Amino acid sequence: MSECIQLSFAVCRIGIYTCFRALCCKGPPPPRPEYDLVCIGLSGSGKTSLLSQLCSESAENIVSTTGFSIKAVPFQNAILNVKELGGADNIRKYWSRYYQGSQGVIFVLDSASSEDDLETARNELHSALQHPQLCTLPFLILANHQDKPAARSVQEVCSCASFLPVCIYFLHTTDPLSLITLTSWLRTGLSFFFTVSTQTRNSPSPQKLSPLHSMQT
């Protein structure tokens, strides 16, 4: 009888120890995969402001990027390392030097820009799509400044890029629905890179996306 009791106590001790190890000695979670993206667009299109919002940084005293900067944008299942390149006239000619190693491209477009700037942005986007280091990567256009009076309509922006194999999201940077909503929109737009980059990594023949997407208030 005593042997049965001792055996029962032993089994209980083993069970308690196993539960303790599972609860208190759990190893660190597996590292999240990281993806390297390049963010381009003309100066003043809002690249720095948008990335600062994504990283929950203060929007005050933001200065346009003159060279390049790198921000880590965390997601639940991945981390996006976004390399932002300055968009001034004297910097754009050096963009291609920073393309190597990119797994996706974000192009920020000022939808309220002048016709000349819009044409310049369109040419820069077309050039990036044809670049050997980017031509097989997923592209995302963020049509920014939709809240401005001079902003072009969804139809106008889409017609401007209708022949391009890209995804487009429209952003209202001063929408009254709050910063949380804006950040949610931005994360929705960028989250497609997680899916596409995963598919590209597992595919021997990566392809660009073709559908256009619109996000509005």
Q: Which residue numbers belong to the known binding site for Mg(2+)?
A: 48, 65
| CB 86, CB 43: distance < 8 Å | yes
Amino acid of residue 169: Y
Cα(216)–Cα(172) distance, rounded to whole angstroms?
Answer: 7
- Write out the two tokens for 55: 């990283």
- Write out the two tokens for 38: 């390049």
Cα(205)–Cα(141) distance, rounded to whole angstroms?
Answer: 23
CB atoms closer than 10 angstroms to residue 116: 8
Where is the binding site, in residues?
41-48, 65, 87, 144-147
- Write out the two tokens for 114: 């002048």
- Write out the two tokens for 170: 């429209």
Where is the binding site for GTP, in residues?
41-48, 87, 144-147
- Can you list the positions of beta strands (E) in 43-184? 68-74, 79-85, 104-110, 139-144, 167-170
